[in-house]
Structure formats: structure tokens, C-alpha cells
Amino acid sequence: MGNVCVHMVNNCVDSKSSSWVRPTDLIMDHPTKPQLQDKPPNQMLMLKDDDKPKLDTHGDPKLLEHKQTSVSNSVHRSHQEQEGNKSEEEEKRKRAIACGNSKRRAHNVRRLMSAGLQAESVLKTKTGHLKEYYNLGSKLGHGQFGTTFVCIEKGTGEEYACKSIPKRKLENEEDVEDVRREIEIMKHLVGQPNVISIKGAYEDSVAVHMVMELCRGGELFDRIVERGHYSERKAAHLAKTCHSLGVMHRDLKPENFLFVNDDEDSPLKAIDFGLSMFLKPGENLTDIVGSPYYIAPEVLNKDYGPEADIWSAGVMIYVLLSGSAPFWGETEEEIFNEVLEGELDLSSDPWPQVSESAKDLIRKMLERNPMKRLTAQEVSCHPWIRDEGNAPDTPLDTTVINRLRKFSATDKLKKMALRVIAERLSEEDIQGIREALIVIDSEKSGRVTYKELKSVLERFNANLDNSDISGLLQTPTDVHLEDTVDYEEFIRAIVRLKQLQDEDADDRLDSSAKV
């Protein structure tokens, strides 16, 4: 089995991500059509006696009676035709809705069948129903394929985390195998001190549920910022969650590491093994997965092995010791270009105050040639990492804390804004926001400032109340209002998240229909 670096930093089961947006005063109103007054279809038959046509003494009464009857019949037929058309249109509408629902159900059935999702087939063994053993509590977080909740064991009252993966998102056999593999890997890692423990897995007609250890201690960055001080030795201790496990995590980043509790010496646990793989010696992977700041260059080149986890872990150590990412860009494309070709900076502030041993480790972990990069075993044996090693216990400069606060807070602010906006706005609203941003971006730079974002969101009231906007715009003191964001990337992210939320709404409907 290959080596893995189930690494250090952390995250609350809390997903977030984003960019920025700002609608303008120019919210275009749709012109309203004038309302036509509908007259009674038989109006001509409702004339007063004085208004009725009078017979000419020289006229033919039969002819006049025939004309009146013809008019009456014509109006009656017109009324019947109108009513008939309305009924026909209503019937068409009902048939269309029924057809749409039928097609959707059939589509879902086809997806389920193509994935082999007959009864109890994902886990391959029959399980009890989750709700027989647990009560579901508050939502902890949301990912691409599932949502995590607090769950309380009925027999003991103990709290756990429950990750629920809707079956409708398992579109093919490969997706099903991914779920099976994630559960298998977590069971394989049971007993590892720095890996979250799985308690059990359950399956019903709607979803697969994984019940796991609940980590309440929060994220590493949050804890450092909150407590205001830490040292290289503490960072080295956190970084020591590097192990040879025989699996690749493939998404090592701060968000995927949690503290178990609030204690000073709380264990740090790796979570989210949804992208993890068992890897045989000599076997390489080609699919691009991971998170932009932490992704290894060979992953972008679509030819990588377990060494990619070492790179990601090295990025986290760099961020811990400097408060910023080693390869930075405004957009994903810029970040990826820096990852592939950018120069590693270990000379500007605060690096002169960081030990040479720490910088040596980072250089060797962020070696672009994976064949020359340190292995997980070599990282564990490095003098800076070892318990009796040479990592100084002197507190790092406060500028590192401030940078770390900004690095973390900026990302969280974007993600929070993205989540709230996607929840509240329609697709038409989102398109309106984009058009408004284009108008405001007079220099056509593709970017707006946080100040402009704040101003726009305060004016854009579509489905956002004041409390939402004020909560959304609690800008951290370290985030400058003149900092800019790529609004096109933000719009794309909103659209992706909106699609996920719409799918979740469908899942809830499916679930409630089967309860």
C-alpha cells in the first residue's frame, strides 16, 4: 500500500466558498402590461328593452329575428369556444405537469437502476433504519454529495455526526463504488489516533448514512486566532498527523481537520474521506481533485500518487507558519499557474524569524518533482517534526496571527455570502446581479471591491432582509474594504451552489414522500 499523509490542519463540518458580487441601483423593472377588462361574453344579450333594436314597420320581422338569433348563437358559440379553449389549455397544462413529473420519476429510476440501486444494494448488507437508533439534530455542514447533521443515539444519549448521501446523486456504478470505498476506508482506519472514527453505516430507500465521531473543538485556524498565540513547536505537533496508512486522502486542507473538543491538548482528527483511495505500489491516478491552494502540481498534470498528500501537508505547514498561502492568485487559474511555476518564498517576512529546520522541511515537502519529495515516513522523522526535535517554543510574531486571521476570515466571508445569496435568490435574480455588476465595473476589470459589494447588497433587496445583509457583511477588521474580488467567478460559484441546493430540495421532497 502507498503512503498517505493524513495531515494537520482542521475544519468544522462546515462548508463554504466564494467570490463577490454587487448588484447596482440599476435594477431593471419589467414593464407591466395593461390589464384588459374582460366583458361578459353575452353582453349583447343583456341590453335594456329601450336599447334593443326596434322593428321597422316596413322590415321583415322574421329576418330581424333570424339576425338576432344568429348573433345570439354566434356569441354563445364564441363563449363556448373560449371556455373550451380554456379547458383544453388547462388540460394541456395538467398533462404537461404530469408528464414532467413522470419523466423526472423515470429519469430518477433510470439513474437508480443504472447505479444498481435496488433495495439495500449500496452497502451490500441489510441494515436497520437510521431513525430506529438515532434522533437527528441540527445541521453541521453541507458538501457536494451530502449533508452532515448531529445525531443522538436513542439508547445512550451520546451525540455523533451523521453524514447523509442522497441516492439520487449516485448517478452511476462509479459513484456507488465511491461511497462503498469511503466507508471501507474509514473502517480500515478505525483506531488511528488522528482519524475520525466511524460508528456505523445505514441505508434506506432515499440515502446512505454514515454515523461518525462528533468533533466539537472547531477549526485549527479559528483556535489559533481565538487564542492569539502559538509556536513552531505547537505547529510541529499539529503537523505530526502524518502517517503511513495505505490510502491517499487527496483533499488535505484546513477544512478537513477538526479538534475533538475545546481542551488545550485536544486531538486533531482528519475527516472527509470521500476522495480517498486505496493505492497499490506503482499505481498512479489521473483525475483532478482537491482544493486550489493545496493541490499538488502533478495532480494538475493528471499523473500522481501518494506524494500529492505530502505537498498538501507542506502547504498547510507554510500557512501555519506565515499566515498566507505559498502559491497565491485572485482566481483558480492564477493559483494553478503559481502552483505549477511560481517561486516558493521563504525569505520575506515573517520567514527570517522562522527556524531553518522548518524552512528545510517545507522546501522538501514542496518539491515539484514528486520523486524527490519527502515521503510520509521521512516527514515524520524530520528533526522539526519529532517530539524531541528542534522546533522552537518561542511564540510566533503577532503579524502571523493577523495574516492567518485574514486568510481564514476572507475565505469564510466569501463562503458565507455565497451560501446566503444562493439560498435566497432566484436564477433571474442572480442574472440581474451579474448584469448590475457589469454596469458598475466601468473599467471592465472583472473585479469589484468589498466596499462596492457592501453598497450593492444594501441596495439589492430581492429576498434578502436587513438581518441577512448585516450578518453577511460583518467584514473582519483585517479584510480591507478596498480589497477586490472576481465577480464572474463569484457568479459561477453561486450558480453551482444554487444547483446543489435545488437538488437538496428535491431530495427532501423525495425523502418526505417516502417517510
> Would you give the end-to-end CA distance of the chain in angstroms?
43
φ/ψ of 334, rounded to 5, equals -65, -40
The C-alpha cell at 15 is 462548508
48 is in an annotated binding site: no
DSSP 53: P
CB 270 within 8 A of CB 284: no
> Are the beta carbons of 321 and 361 closer than 8 angstroms?
no
What is the Cα Rg of the chain in Å? 31
323: left (phi over 0), alpha (psi -120 to 50) or beta: left
Q: Which of 251, 272, 309, 486 is catalytic?
A: 251
Closest of 122, 115, 114 to residue 204, by C-alpha? 122
- For this structure, is 251 an active site residue? yes
Question: For residues 47 and 50, what is the distance between their CA atoms, to the nearest angstrom?
Answer: 8
Q: Which amino acid is at 502?
A: D
| DSSP one-letter string for 102-129 | HHHHHHHHHHHHHTT--TT-SSSS----
At 134, list the grid cell: 438515532
Here the cell at position 372 is 524527490
CB contact at 8 A, 166 and 206: yes
Which residues belong to the annotated binding site? 163
Catalytic residues: 251
Annotated binding site for ATP: 163
